[in-house]
Amino acid sequence: MNMSFGDALNQAIDQNNSLACIGLDSDHRKLPTHLKDTSQPQLEFNKAIIDATGDLVCCFKANSAFYEALGADGLEQLRLTIEYLHQKFPGIPMILDAKRADIGNTNNGYIDYGFKYLGADAITLHPYLGGEALQPFLDIKDKGMIVLCRTSNPGAAEFQDLMVDGRPVYQHVAKTVKTWNKNKNCSLVVGATYPEEMKVIRELVGGDMVFLVPGIGAQGGDLESVMNAGLAGDRGLIIHSARQVIFASSSKDFASAAREQAVQLNQEINKYRR
């Protein structure tokens, strides 16, 4: 993919009329039985999901944990999945959900792993070490850096809601990432389970920054509330769904069942786009 992550994302939004992101969280334990005897079951599963839904999404997201769990073989299946997506749907970006970040020189290893070896178009990062440490990521103009801000899990408040100088920490993160965004390559993770907080974050960062929104579906996030809180015009959100789509069926019809769910998700999202 020669264009930047942001340009590719906007092109895919326009091409597929979609803000939906399907998570290729291909837990080996949950794969259809008929695939488990194949030599690369995660790859075969992912290829079928990509084939069935690639015209319905603005991007895909793969959580590295489900592949790391299988060691070198799993990582190779992840690499081949991203390669396959770029061949089959050249304009659709892949987010690597790896939640990385370390001191600067260590980050170079994560950059080589995520972008050069795996071929991802964007990566999730945590902000805890600050902008100085993240600078090797922030300097890469053509990739997406999606920084954890207000996550969707129930325990998010333990640190993210701590008050510092009159604001909760997650708001400081949002404001700070805005200052990091000199190359227009930064986005934020803002969970669907906290729409009121999302509204405040949108006000803090303005309409230019995209939010990756986990938590719709299995985690209980309300889509209408999210769309009302986070939309910037008719975009600005990546609405992520994984289990609800990819594991809609555990039988040989899993790909067509995933497509049905993806169509439904996309239609539901588009009801609320202005």
pLDDT confidence of residue 218:
60
pLDDT confidence of residue 133:
95
pLDDT tens per residue, range 132-178: 999 999 999 999 999 999 998 989 999 999 999 999 999 999 999 99
Determine whether 182 is an active site residue. Answer: no
pLDDT tens per residue, range 40-72: 999 999 999 999 999 999 999 999 999 999 999
pLDDT range class, residue 215, cuts 50, 70, 90: confident
pLDDT confidence of residue 2:
72
Query: CA end-to-end span of the chain, whole Å?
Result: 29
User: Would you say residue 217 has pLDDT above 90?
Assistant: no
2-18: average pLDDT: 95
Assign residue 242 the CATH number of its domain: 3.20.20.70
Domain that holds residue 79: 5-271
User: Distance (Å, rounded) from C-alpha 203 to C-alpha 266?
Assistant: 25
Say how many domains are in the chain.
1
pLDDT range class, residue 216, cuts 50, 70, 90: confident
Query: Which of 47, 99, 178, 199 is labelled catalytic?
Result: 99
User: Would you say residue 220 has pLDDT above 70?
Assistant: no
pLDDT tens per residue, range 81-112: 999 999 999 999 999 999 999 997 899 999 99
User: Which tokens hold the place of 99?
Assistant: 């939640």
